[in-house]
Each structure stands twice: as structure tokens, then as C-alpha cells.
Amino acid sequence: MTAKIIDGRSLAAAMRKGFAERVAALKEHSVTPGLAVLLIGDDPASAVYVGRKVKACEAVGIKSFAQHLPESISNAELLGRIVELNANPEVHGILVQLPLPPQIDMAQVLETIAVEKDVDGFHLYNVGGLVTGNTVFSPCTPFGVVKLLEHENIPIEGQNVVIVGASNIVGKPMALMLMARDATVSICHAKTRDLAQFTILADILIVAAGVPNLIVPQMVKHGAVVIDVGINRLADGSIAGDVDFEGVSKKASAITPVPGGVGPMTVTMLLENTIKSAEHKAIFEGLELA
């Protein structure tokens, strides 16, 4: 078997075309969706991620409000910035690029972002809403994975899903989102004993551990769908996921490449959440969108 390659780039591009139309419809009512992106300090990877988000916003007509703040910023000052953005009617989404310097209380930062502007989906309300089914914004990476599965018409209901990685931003919300779609979900992590005994049962295997080559063919069931969320920079400077792509693609029925799989979808879902936020506000204020 040779797996179908799930092309995240082409789905992201198609979705972004649709976004440009939704933004144009909002602009006809003098509403320009706005995303504030706060970058703290000089971490080069964070700067790259923020740059990509800003560029992606511009490409679909979203106005970005990027703020580059010093590494030494105090917790109080950062919270003050967020409070200002919460009150700014031009800003529909607020994103604070993680990780944060040690003097910053991340939980407090995430809780200070207004729920209706929490387009990253990390506010406790949005996280809790994943359990009860009334989240306002889903976190972008797992949301992107769900979109990829839906686009590929991969059934979720009743499927055995195994997620490798249990972080708050990927693994745990991913599990909740797929449970909400009636999958049978197992979550594995660094302390899981004999990872392979779980992964081999997966109809859909989602890997977000940050360990290159963690998943090799003998850990994968014939015909499984394999979603590789991992992004690892190798010693030679190249980017690889967590899955042995060459080997596993001979066994899986479908697989995401790295790069070009989940990555482009993450930023795409951030745009989706920002536009949705602007649309909600416009409708709430009585505008009739086409």
C-alpha cells in the first residue's frame, strides 16, 4: 500500500481564498477584521511564526497589529497591553506568541484575553468549552487537523484514534475535539509504557511529540490514517515531523507530510477564528452580512 499524501498546503490555499471573500464582505460594511499579535523578546523561532501570521493576515485582508515587546517586560505591563487591546474595537483577535519569559505568568496572560477575542483558543473558557461542546474558538492546530480529516472524508465516528502527545495546545484539545465527534480516543505521552501497543490499534494516529522518527512502520496498523503534527529541525537544517514518513507511507492509507501537512492549516485556522470573531461582532451589532 502507498499512502495518499494529505496536502495541507492546497487545502489551506483553498480556504484562504474563501477567507478573502468573507473579509471583502465585511469591508463592504466598513468592518476590517483585525488581529493583534504580541511577540515578547527575541526568540528567532517565535519571530518567524509571528512573521508568518502577519503575512497570512495581510494576504486575505485582515489588518494585523503586531507589537514587539522587550524580553524584560513586566507581567503588569503585558497585562495592561492586553486590556487595551480587549477594549480596541478594531481588534477582533488577540494572540500572545508562546513561550513567554519566566517573569510572565502565562495563565494570567491567557485569562486576561477577552474570550470573544481569544482566537488561539487558550483561554480557560474556550478550553473548558471543548469539554461541554460550547467553545467559542477551537485551538488552531487541532482545529486544522479536524478540517484536514473532514476534507479527506475520513470517518471519525467510532474510529480508534490514538494521539501521541498530551500538551495543552495540541494533544489534549485534539482528544476532546475527536471525542466530541464520537471517536474512541487514547492519549499517549512520554511516560506511556510500550507506546507501540497503543499506536498499532489506531485507525487514525495523530502524533505531536516533537521527537523525530518516533513512529516507525511496525508501530502502525495497515491502512491507518497518520497525521504528523511534529516539527523538528534536524542537525542538517532540514525540517522533519515525528513520523518516519518514507517507511510509514508504505503502510498507511493516508499521511500528512512535514512540511506541507498540518503546519499550513494551523495559521489558516487562526485566520478563520479571526474572521469569525469579526463576523460575530458585526452580526451582534446588527449588520446583515451577505
- What residues act catalytically? 53, 97, 120
Q: How far is the CB of 211 from ligand NAD (least distance, A)?
A: 5
Q: Which region among 52-60, 63-71, 203-211, 217-225 touches ligand NAD (by CB under 6 A)?
A: 203-211
Q: Which region among 22-30, 208-216, 219-227, 277-285 touches ligand NAD (by CB under 6 A)?
A: 208-216
| Contact status: 121 vs ligand NAD (CB under 6 A) | no
8 Å CB contact between 177 and 142: yes
| Contact status: 215 vs ligand NAD (CB under 6 A) | no
Gap between the Cα atoms of 248 and 256, Å rounded: 11
| Contact status: 127 vs ligand NAD (CB under 6 A) | no
Give the footprint of ligand NAD on residues 150-169 (CB under 6 A). 164-167, 169
The torsion angles phi and psi of 138, rounded to 5 degrees, stand at -85, 145
Virtual torsion, Cα 218, 222, 223, 224, nearest 10 deg: -40
User: In the chain, count of helices (H) and strands (E)?
Assistant: 10, 11
Provide the grid cell at 278: 469579526
Question: Given the complex with ligand NAD, which of 43 and 116 has the nearer CB atom?
Answer: 43
Gap between the Cα atoms of 143 and 145, Å rounded: 5
| Contact status: 211 vs ligand NAD (CB under 6 A) | yes
8 Å CB contact between 45 and 16: no
Give the footprint of ligand NAD on residues 8-37 (CB under 6 A). none
Residues that bind ligand NAD (CB under 6 A): 141, 164-167, 169-171, 188-190, 192, 195, 208-211, 214, 229-232, 262-263, 266
